[in-house]
Amino acid sequence: MIDIEIMKTSILRTVFLLMFISTMYIQSQAQEEKPVEFGIKAGLNISDFNSKDGATTDLIPGFNVGVFSKLPLTTLIAFQSELSLTTKGATVTYNSLLLDGSANFNLTYLEMPLLCVFNVTNRVNLQVGPYVAYLLDAKVTNKSNVTLFNFEQNLNTDNYNRIDAGIVFGAGIDVHGITMGARYNLGLTKVGKTQSFLGTNYIIPNSTNGVMSFYLAISFL
């Protein structure tokens, strides 16, 4: 029988390897007048869950911090890869026969976006591409009493899918090696795994990630 966790880990390692090989190949093909840029970036996250079960969710703040490389392919298009530590999550309120309460989910991921950057003008760019992320840590705290289910006692990192993947949309303004930008990460994979409690199957949270990010990036040639 296939071990799902081993398979997911193998997929993640393969993505990282392909990303590294692709970056090295692109760099080897780049012309001297189009050098690869390297830099650091950090900013604010406002995250939420896109709920699949009608649960009420509220936004929570967080952060993103990481590094990036950017290769201009032409004057209009560039390829940008990143590796960031980023937080996601939401406050979720459940009211049902099985679950009654409110919980604050704080998730920490190591995330890799692979972006196409389109230079609309010399200053303004648009960004789009996929991302893949690996869950490093998950913490949940109760914000009110629950009748049958205690989120803190019954949920741990193993109750969440380790791999998160989705699509990034964004825009930035470039000013002398500094980029100020905003993005939205639309998650396409469920955050929680299927669990069983008192003979009933459930997924907590039965949602996908959604994150609005504001960031400042500094480029070093």
pLDDT of residue 57: 86
Cα angle 192, 196, 200 (rounded to 5 degrees) comes to 115
Strand partners, 187: 166
Query: Given pLDDT bands bounded at 50, 70 and 90, which one contains residue 200?
Result: confident
SS3 label, residue 191: coil
Query: Given pLDDT bands bounded at 50, 70 and 90, which one contains residue 201?
Result: confident
Q: Is the pLDDT of residue 190 over 80?
A: yes
Q: What single letter denotes the amino acid at residue 179?
A: T
Say what the pTM is. 0.80
Q: Residue 63's Cα: distance from chain center in Å?
A: 11
Q: For 46-98, what is each residue's pLDDT tens digit?
A: 999 998 766 788 999 999 999 999 999 988 999 999 999 999 999 888 776 65
Domain edges within the chain: 4-220
DSSP letter, residue 30: -
Q: For 167-179, what is each residue's pLDDT tens digit?
A: 999 999 999 889 9
Residue labelled with tokens 């039965």: 206
Q: In CATH, which of 3.40.50.20, 2.40.160.20, 2.60.15.10, 1.10.1040.10 is domain 4-220? A: 2.40.160.20
Q: For 116-131, what is each residue's pLDDT tens digit?
A: 999 999 899 999 999 9
pLDDT of residue 51: 82
Instruction: Kindly list the distances between the CA atom of residue 183 and the CA atoms of 52, 113, 128, 202, in Å, as whole numbers in the listed order.
Output: 23, 11, 9, 31
Q: Is the pLDDT of residue 218 over 50?
A: yes
pLDDT of residue 70: 94
Q: At CB < 8 A and 24+ separation, what contacts does 140-145 make?
A: 140/103, 140/104, 140/105, 140/106, 141/103, 141/104, 141/106, 142/101, 142/102, 142/103, 143/91, 143/101, 143/102, 143/103, 143/104, 144/101, 144/102, 145/101
pLDDT of residue 44: 98
**Greater model confidence, 23 or 199:** 199
- Cα–Cα distance for residue pair 53/40, rounded to 1 Å: 38
